[in-house]
Amino acid sequence: ARRLGCRAERIAAPGELQPSWLAEARVVGVTAGTSTLEETVRLVLRRLETLGGTARPRSAGEGADRRKT
């Protein structure tokens, strides 16, 4: 992401998210490795929502979305 001019941050827990990272963001992507617990991913997504984010459903062909609705 950085090589393409996008900001990228690595976190291990939702509390590590810094609101300042999101100040100019229009889109935030979340990825996780296979060893990351689904609960951790859900908590990160919730934290992003508390910071003003809104989730959008993925359209077909955009990749796997592990979030449960």
Q: What is the arithmetic mean of pLDDT over 2-18?
A: 93
Q: Model pTM greater than 0.85?
A: no
57 DSSP assignment: P
The pLDDT of residue 63: 53
With 90 as the cut, is the pLDDT of residue 66 above it?
Answer: no
pLDDT at position 69: 42
Q: Is residue 44 exposed (0-12), middle (13-18) or buried (19+ Cβ within 10 Å)? A: buried
Between 68 and 43, the more confident residue is: 43
Residues 28-64: pLDDT tens digits?
A: 989 899 999 999 999 999 999 999 998 876 655 555 5
